[in-house]
Structure 1
């Protein structure tokens, strides 16, 4: 029995272990293919998330804007500070404020969305 174990130990001692260059190159190619698939998908997801976040920030600022109008009867004097006094979670910027209309903007990443007055829809077009 001991001769069998000694032969096995001798065979294991002679054997070289490790990866060949071809095996390593194949692994690198597989990793490259996976990255080529994953990175564009991730960037598209990130853009959609920023776009949706900017729209949601504008949408969440509207109640504070309307509360300001209800308190003052005008949008004049409205700014980011007065809106955060009404709702601390507001993260929109006041571009302009007139007696009967306003323009607010929210930016997330490279995307900006606007709301140009109480009846306007949220859009990516800057206020005029």
Structure 2
């Protein structure tokens, strides 16, 4: 009686190890890039909220001739705008209500953004502590 011919099917241990190594290399490249993209997205949310707060403040100024009184947290003072989840915003009126300073950052981002009514462009800093529960110091931001 003749035994049927055996056909080996499957992968060898070496082939499986090669596949695992390739997946590991791809993951080592992709994970840091993913983290960078997430930080950029959080920073973009803070930038967007800063621009939207400026629009809201200018609308308030056009309607009332003065900016709203500052109480520190921008969401408490600008009634028609609420910042995105995770974004911290600091707002302060200056020059007896004729100007303002705003600073925003995201709790998971890595930059802070600053703008006041006398400069026309946003400034950024790599230190997000410039915007947290204190008066933003414009000297700490990139010109």
TM-score computed with the length of structure 2 as normaliser: 0.64
CA distance in 2, matches of 1:41, 1:101: 40
What do you get for the CA RMSD once the two structures are aligned?
Answer: 2.7
**Pairing 1:27–2:23 present:** no
In structure 2, stretches of 5+ residues that fail to align are: 131-135, 138-143
- Please list the CA deviations of residues 66-119 of structure 1 after superposition, one character each: whole Å capped at 9, or x if unmatched: 122223322251442342x334x5446243112222122222322321212253
**Would you tell me which structure has more helix in proportion to its own residues?**
1
CA distance in 2, matches of 1:30, 1:94: 47
**Pairing 1:47–2:43 present:** no
Aligned length: 117
Query: For structure 1, which segment, 94-103 or 117-126, has the greater mean C-alpha deviation from structure 2 after superposition?
Result: 117-126
Alpha carbons 2:91, 2:102 under 8 Å: kept:
yes
Q: Which residue matches 1:3?
A: none
**Pairing 1:80–2:75 present:** yes
In structure 1, stretches of 5+ residues that fail to align are: 1-5
TM-score computed with the length of structure 1 as normaliser: 0.70
CA distance in 2, matches of 1:93, 1:54: 8
CA distance in 2, matches of 1:94, 1:34: 41
CA distance 1:86–1:102, change in 2 (3 Å): same
Structure 1 residue runs of 4 or more that deviate by more than 6 Å after TM superposition: none
Alignment of 1:1-128 (within 5 A): 10-11=4-5, 14-78=6-70, 79-83=74-78, 85-87=79-81, 89-91=82-84, 93-98=89-94, 99-108=97-106, 109-110=108-109, 111-125=111-125, 126=130, 127-128=136-137
Alpha carbons 1:55, 1:106 under 8 Å: kept:
yes
Q: Which has the larger radius of gyration?
A: 1
